[in-house]
Amino acid sequence: MEECTLQQRCKNLCDLLPEHHRRLYAGTLASALPHGGITRISRDLLISRKTVSKGMRESALLGFSTSVHPTTSIRKPGGGRKDLLMLNPQVGEAFDAVVASCTAGDPMNEAVRWVSMTRKGIATAMEALLGYPVSEYYVSRLLKAKGFSRRKMSKSIPLKQAQDKDAQFKNIERLRKEYDDGKSPVVSIDTKKKEMLGNFYREGRCFCKESRKVSDHDFPSFSSGKVTPHGVYDMQRNEGFLTCGTTAHDTPEFNVSCIGDWWDTLGTSQYPSARKLLILADGGGSNSSRSNSFRQELQELSDRIGREIRVAHYPPYSSKWNPIEHRFFCHINRGWNGMVFNDASEMVLAATRVTTAAGLKVHASLKTQQYEKGVKASESFLQDYRVVHDDHLGKWNYVIKPRGNNP
C-alpha cells in the first residue's frame, strides 16, 4: 500500500467535507499551530487565507454558542467564485510571457530551471500586460502550478573527481569494520578554521533578555587573539575531544600533539587492552597524506604510547565525508552560535556543555603551547623510514609501528 503523508491525509479529508465543514476544519487546524499557521494550512490544503481566517473565527465562536453551527446545505458542484485563470485565460499567458523573460536553466537538464524575478516583480509586470492588478499570493499559486518553489543551492558537486575515490571509500569502510571490536579505537580527526576572540558577530541565536551589541566589522586586527580548534572524535563511543589551541599555526606537530592529549586523557583508560588504533583524516592541511612531517610526528607518538597506528586518508575533495565534520564539529558550532568569546577558556566551557539526543559527550581542553610553522621532517627519519604503506592505495593508507622497547 502506498504510503501517505499526514499533509496528504488532511488534504484528502478536507476534500470530502462540505464547504462549511471544510472551512471549520481548516480554521481548527490553523488555530492549533503557532505563528504562521494560516499560511501553512492555506498552502497545504489549497484554501485561501481569507477562508482559513474565517474558519478560525467561526471555530472560536463554536466554543461559546451553539447558534453558529454551519448549515447543512452543500453548494452544488461548480458553484462559488471561479478561479481567475478560468475566467481569463490571458492571465496564464501573461504569466508565461513574464516568466519566460526571466527564466534561466541548466542546458544539460531541462528540469533544472530558476526565475530571477521576485513575486512582486512578476505581479507588477503582469499588471502592465493585463491592465489590472494581480496579487503576489496569486503569483505564488501560479509559480507552484508551474513547478517553481523557493530552494537553496545544494553544494554537492566536487571541484574535481579524485582517481580511486570509490575504492578508498570501500577500503575505509572495510577498515572500520575490522577495527570495530570494542578494543581498538577508531577516531576521526580534523582542525576547524581559526576563531577570532573579541566582541565580534557570530552566526546563530541564544536566549538572552536583550540583543548583545557587537562590532560592526570583523577585522582580524581588532581581535584579542585567535583560537585553533582541533577535534578527535571517537566513533565507537560517540565522544569528542576538543583542543582549543592558542597557537597561530595549524602544524603537524600541533595536530599530533592533540591526538596524544586525547590518548593520555581518555584513550589509555577507555582502551587499556588496545594494541592498535585507526585514524581517519582528510588528505590535506596539517594531516596531509603527502606530509612526511605528519608521519614523523605520528611515529614519535607511536613510539611513546607503544601502539600501532594505522592511518586512512580521505581522497582529495572529500573532506565532507570525514565523520568528525557531521558528528562533532557541527554540534560544536551549534553550541557556539550567537555567543561572544573574549577568552579561549570561554570557548572550552561552552563546548563542554554541548550534547545531542544521541548522547554525544564532549571533552575540551586549552593548549597554550606555540608551534613553529614550516618545520620539515628530519633527515634521520627519512633515512630510517619505517612507515609501511599498503600495496593497495598506499598513498592514502599506511601503518606506523612503534620502534624499540616501549612502556
Sequence-distant (6+) residues with CB within 8 A of 152 are none
Q: Residue 69 carries which side chain, given as an amino acid letter?
A: H
Name the grid cell of 140: 505564488
What average pLDDT does the structure give for the chain? 85
Whether 107 has a pLDDT exceeding 60, the answer reads no
Alpha helical stretches, state H, 83-233: 84-87, 90-100, 119-130, 136-145, 165-179
**DSSP label at residue 326:** I
- Provide DSSP, 338-407: T--BSSHHHHHHHHHT---TT--EEEEEEE-----TTPPPPHHHHHT---EE-SSSTTTEEEE---S---
Q: Which of 363, 377, 372 is nearest to 230 (CA)?
A: 363
Between 208 and 139, the more confident residue is 139
Name the grid cell of 101: 523573460
Is residue 286 within 8 A of residue 398, CB to CB? The reply is: no
Between 70 and 184, the more confident residue is 184
pLDDT at 147: 81
Whether 66 has a pLDDT exceeding 60, the answer reads no
- Provide DSSP, 196-246: EEBS---SS----SSPPP--S---GGG-SEEEEEEEEEETTTTEEEEEEE-
In sequence order, the β-bridge partners of residue 104 are 114
Q: Which of 239, 269, 222, 264 is nearest to 367 (CA)?
A: 264
Is residue 240 within 8 A of residue 333, CB to CB? The reply is: no
Sequence-distant (6+) residues with CB within 8 A of 257 are 297, 367, 369, 371
Tens-digit pLDDT profile for residues 359-394: 999 999 999 998 888 889 999 999 989 999 999 899
- Provide DSSP, 255-277: HHHHHHHHIIIIIHHH-TT--EE
Query: Mean pLDDT, to the nearest integer, of 27-39?
Result: 88
Tens-digit pLDDT profile for residues 169-178: 999 999 999 9
Sequence-distant (6+) residues with CB within 8 A of 21 are 70
Tens-digit pLDDT profile for residues 132-157: 888 888 888 888 888 887 777 777 77
Pairing of strands 186-191, 276-281: parallel
Is residue 38 within 8 A of residue 49, CB to CB? The reply is: yes
Which helix (DSSP H) or strand (DSSP E) does residue 63 occupy? Answer: none
Name the grid cell of 73: 446545505
Q: Residue 133 carries which side chain, given as an amino acid letter?
A: P
Query: Mean pLDDT, to the nearest integer, of 184-190?
Result: 94
Is residue 323 within 8 A of residue 293, CB to CB? The reply is: no
pLDDT at 65: 46
Between 43 and 159, the more confident residue is 43
Which helix (DSSP H) or strand (DSSP E) does residue 313 occupy? Answer: strand 308-313
pLDDT at 363: 95
Cα separation, 174 vs 169, whole angstroms: 9
In angstroms, how far is CA 324 from the centroid of its own chain?
12
The model's pTM is 0.70
pLDDT at 328: 94
Between 22 and 397, the more confident residue is 397
